[in-house]
Structure 1
Amino acid sequence: MYELILVRYGELGLKGKNKSQFINRLVLNIKRGIKGLAPREVISTWGRIWVPVRDDLDQTIERLQQVFGIYSVSPVIKVEKNLSAIQEAALKVLHDALPQGGSFKVETRRPDKTFPMLSPEISKAVGSYLFAHSPDIYQAEMHHPEHTIQVEIRSEGAFVYGQVIPCAKGLPVGSSGRAVLMLSGGIDSPVAGWMAMKRGVTIEAVHFHSFPFTSERAKQKVIDLCQVLALWGGKIRLHVVHFTEIQKAIRQNCREEYGITIMRRMMFRLAERIAAENKAFAIYTGESVGQVASQTLESMYTINQVTNMPVLRPLVGMDKEEIIKISQSIKAFDISIRPYEDCCTIFLPDYPKIRPRLEEAIMMEEKLDVEALIREALEKTEVLEIIQEEIIS
């Protein structure tokens, strides 16, 4: 019955002279999102994007709901611009939307001002037709209807629909530059990456792997999380950083309670180097104030001093319950809770310093050959490109 899906793009319509760049990016991402389904042309017109349906309506809508930048979608019937065709299409939409009956009203938009009837006249004529050609289980209701039948008269035709399905909103991935995501394998950092992509950011994921202290299953867990993020971002490049020698050096040369602080400072140095090599301009983390010892304000201040790059923490004001809710909604939670330790937990001291002092951290790092350790870690870094279910070394 439905031939097209109408795609609405919300805040992109407010981008002024740059609007076309955002819309072009969104069209590319839509094509990527529906790749693998029956081939079709995505149509961009003034104020609207249209995706044809090929006997795969539900699958196509599900894919579009994972494309950032789309505000909502509607399955649409397209007909000729004459009243009888519009009325017949509206009757089909009504019976599909309310098969058991209920209250409805009709709303009309008429961007094509050459159509001989005004919008209120069209709504009245269509509503009267629906009422006359439907059983008594349907009632017209102007103020609080159960369903609204929408009619749009545009230069390219008349469009009738009855559903408005919410989507991911945000900005198209790739429209806001590139950033590094410090991806631990826990619950928080994948959510931070998802929120970065929602604002149009392309993600370079960085994971710190301490084999043999952390297992290959822990690494696979992170790969699986990247595949979840790739459903939303199209492609995730994962940098698996060899972190074993750094952790050994910290354990041998630094006070135990400062281990997490020094480790995080080294991670930020590495993330900054990877960001610079990949033309990224910020570092994203899954930190939330006060959640663990390294996330007190004092810890964040001491750790941040090793980089001049912006460190963005989209979860900073959220509690764990809020974070878990998002993790579950994006299908990352069950992967995140797999019982495989990451490098942040294997050498966790009994009493980590929750208010570390910058001068003490600097003093302890004087015992480390920081540059040599970073160079070795980067030389052993493995880079994987993850495109949904595909992994390319």
Structure 2
Amino acid sequence: MPFSVTSSEITLKGKNRKFFESVLGRNIHASLEGCGAVSVTKKGTSRFLVSAGQEGKAVLSLQKVFGVDTISIVEEVPLDMEKIREKAVSHCPQLKGKKIRVQSKRSNKKFSFESQQINSLIGKDLVECGCTVDLRNPDETVYIDILENSALVSLVRIKGPGGLPVGTSGRVLSLISGGIDSPVASWLMMKRGCKMDFLHMHAFQKEPRDSKIIRLVEQLRDYYPGKIRVYMAPYSEFYKKSMSLPANTELVLFRRFLYKVANMIAGKRRCKGIVTGDSLGQVASQTIQSILLTHDASSLPVFRPLVAFNKDETVRLAEKIGTYQTSLEPYKDCCSLVTQKSPATNLKPDQLKKLEEPLEGAVRNTVKSTEIIEV
């Protein structure tokens, strides 16, 4: 039985709607790899009819495709009111004795019956076979979609993740640590249609390929159509230079250093921005004053999708997307090495410039020593 896959946000687009629909169609097809024989057919505005050999696995995959608003298991019938009623009534054995409602939507406004008429006619048919109508708290909803040349009847509608298809909003570079916040921030940017590369600065001589960071990216990869590039940059260059820096400036200088490394890598990949897991006021390095001290170190815009989230909200989202337990695993990242109770927050631009002089070559050396891993 085919699925009807819809996107609500794409329908709001104008002349570029076809581009968004094309990307979504490709992403849907990519997500169904390994689900047997697959067919993806565009069916009207922002709707696709999808069939797959392994239907259960396909539904789970479609629930992780950004841009998908609903997934319905449907039966397609001719655009004829009697045929539509017959198909709805054919479900009477499983609906008998239940509270139902009928919810119809006409994409084809030329169809001779209005939505309310369709609801009323089919509702009466189902009442005659032993159902009762309850519009507020039904046991089952019968969905009717009136398309250009056919109609779809469905009893099962599953919510998708929504958002925009990955690949419609440009590429960004996400700074990922071993914590809870940065994977969630990355997921939210994917949801807004961004292609994603990752940068992690590790405290080891060489980051192992089965590390916690790679496993976090692999979990995010479930929502991503294609390979993801992870840049593993060594912390050692900054560490060697930081020995001569005032202790209370190390945190702000490290964040500026990280932005500069990120900008060099982002430039090579034509990324349009940097992503961080900052939440305003959560820690000393994420106050407005601390952000002011670091923002000009990046020539690219810095996106902070968690800026207004509290920790509980971020944790709930991490649990939902599947990264939370991995984030809790012990891991020594370089952010923990430069954490300070009382970091400097009132440095002047000329002070920053002077303090950063020893770090100029370290940025280039760090980029040269960065390893690339594809996930």
Instruction: Please indicate, yes or no, whether the TM-score normalized by the shorter chain is above 0.5.
Output: yes
Q: Displacement of 1:248 after TM fit?
A: 2.1
CA 1:110 to 1:285, structure 2 compared with 1: closer, same or farther past 3 Å? Answer: closer
Q: Which residue of 2 aligns with 1:71?
A: 69
- Cα pair distance change 1:110/1:237, threshold 3 Å: same
Which residue of structure 2 lines up, in the alignment, with residue 25 of structure 1?
Answer: 23
Normalised by the size of structure 1, how large is the TM-score? 0.87
Contact preservation (8 Å) 1:104, 1:149: yes
Change in 2 beyond 3 A, CA 1:221/1:106: same
Secondary structure of 1:327's counterpart equals: helix
Equivalent residues in 2 for 1:142-291, closer than 5 Å: 145-212=138-205, 216=208, 220-234=211-225, 235-250=227-242, 252-291=243-282
- Cα offsets for 1:251-272 (capped at 9, x unmatched): x110111111111111000000
What is the CA-CA distance between 1:175 and the residue it aligns to?
0.1
Are residues 118 and 374 of structure 1, via their aligned partners in 2, closer, same or farther at CA, if it must alter by over 3 Å? closer
1:327 and 2:323 matched: no
Letter in 2 for 1:304: H
1:40 match: 38
In 2, distance between residues paired with 1:364 and 1:143? 65
- Partner in structure 2 of residue 132 of structure 1: 128
Alignment length, in residue pairs?
A: 374
Paired position in structure 1 for 2:334: 343
CA spacing shift, 1:120–1:258, aligned 2, 3 Å: closer
Offset at 1:346?
A: 2.4
Tell me by how many angstroms 1:204 deviates. Answer: 1.1
Gap regions ≥5 residues in structure 1: 387-393
Comparing 346-355 with 203-212, which one deviates more in the overlay? 346-355
Secondary structure of the residue that 2:100 maps to in structure 1?
strand
CA distance in 2, matches of 1:225, 1:284: 16
**Structure 2 gap segments, 5+ residues each:** none
SS in 1 for 2:156: coil
SS of the counterpart of 1:175?
coil
- AA aligned opposite 1:128: K
Amino acid at match of 1:333: Y
* Higher deviation after alignment, 38-47 or 147-156: 147-156
- For residues 43-97 of structure 1, the C-alpha deviation after alignment (integer angstroms, 9 at most, x for no partner) is 112224233334533322211111111111211111234455433432354655x
Matched residue type, 1:126 = I
Residue 125 of structure 1 and its aligned partner are, at CA, apart by 3.5
Q: Find the partner of 2:344 among 334, 349, 353.
A: 353
Q: Relative to structure 1, is the Cα distance of residues 360 and 72 closer, same or farther in structure 2, using a 3 angstrom cutoff? A: same
2:44–2:148 Cα contact (<8 Å) kept: no
Describe the shift of the 1:263–1:93 C-alpha distance in structure 2 as closer, same or farther (beyond 3 A): farther
Task: Find the residue that maps to 1:148 and give its secondary structure.
Answer: strand
Aligned to 1:89: 87
Deviations 1:136-180 (A, max 9, x none): xx2124565443312233343221012332111111111000111
Q: 1:113 to 1:106 in 2, by over 3 A?
A: same
- Alignment identity in percent? 30
- In structure 2, C-alpha distance between the alignment counterparts of 1:369 and 1:52, rounded to whole Å: 54
- Please state how far the C-alpha of 1:203 moved relative to its aligned partner: 1.0
Per-residue CA deviations over 1:7-26 (Å, capped at 9, x if unaligned) read 12111111100100011011
Q: What RMSD, in angstroms, separates the aligned Cα atoms of the two structures?
A: 2.4
Shift in alpha-carbon separation, 1:335–1:89, aligned structure 2, 3 A: same
Kindly indicate whether residue 284 of structure 2 is the aligned counterpart of residue 293 of structure 1. Answer: yes
Residue 377 of structure 1 corresponds to 366
Partner of 2:50: 52
AA matched with 1:240: M
Match of 1:102 among 98, 101, 107: 98
Task: Give the distance between the partners of 1:362 and 1:39, measured in 2 at CA.
Answer: 60
CA–CA separation in structure 1 for the residues paired with 2:191 and 2:157: 20
| Map of 1:391 onto structure 2 | none
Q: Secondary structure at the match of 2:322?
A: coil
